[in-house]
Amino acid sequence: MAEKLSREEQELNRSRPSIVRTLIKRYYRDFGKNASRNSVRSRKWFREQATKLGKVRTGRIFSHRDWFADRPKIGRLYLFHYDAKHKDDLEYWDRLPLTFFFNSYSKDGKQYLIGINLHYLPPALRMVLFAELLTIRNEKRFREQTRLRISWEILQSFSNHKLVQPCVHKYLVSHIRSKFIEIPPSDWEVAIPLGLERFLKASSAQVWKDSIKKAKS
């Protein structure tokens, strides 16, 4: 018989897209209602489940208005539609970045956001980098206030900072074509390995191969 979710998890479920609810329910079914989340074991389990799912329909996330946000915050995780300004000149680009922003600036009247788009790594390496990023969160618990205390200077000091390099990208705010989907900290481990990337002009496999090569250089 499947374990029931705790009352706290049931409350959180009301603000989750169905695919996230389903994966979390399966996790507790496999490990029990008191199983620890945001742990080494849970990150491994969600990565394996995401790999089995393959590509995920983005409409299942963007139709869920409870996660909509108008403005991004530094150190939080966002999914959004992006139309690259110089797409004709790019080798490839991600139309649906999943990004921890760590800086913003304005130049010539245009506003830019800089962040770590985790889609540029395959799911297994995303979770390696994610575990490293968790060491700079502002609190041990995963609550609404949780964020990464993140800057480029901090990223450069990471033992695995080479994984960061292929993921750092700049986004022109005027070319963002949707509201931001803000992933709650408690569900970062669920969303990060999901097959939500939408690379144009190259396959995911090719992008990941190039990123690994850059990380090793």
Tokens 């995963």 correspond to 142
Which residues is 172 bridged to in the sheet? 112
Range 12-18 contact pairs with CB under 8 angstroms and sequence separation of 24 or more? 12/184, 12/186, 14/66, 15/66, 15/67, 15/184, 16/64, 16/66, 16/187, 17/60, 17/61, 17/63, 17/64, 17/67, 18/60, 18/64
| 72: number of Cβ within 10 Å | 21
- Which candidate, 18, 151, 17, 169, places its Cα nearest to that of 82? 169
* Distance (Å) of CA 48 to CA 25, 44, 112, 183, 194: 15, 6, 34, 20, 10
The length of the chain in residues reads 217
Entry pTM? 0.88
pLDDT tens string, the chain, 217 residues long: the values are 344 555 656 656 667 888 998 999 999 999 998 899 999 999 999 999 999 999 988 877 777 778 888 889 999 999 999 999 999 999 999 999 999 999 999 999 999 999 999 999 999 999 999 999 988 887 777 777 777 888 777 777 776 678 999 999 999 999 999 999 999 999 999 999 999 999 999 999 999 999 999 998 8
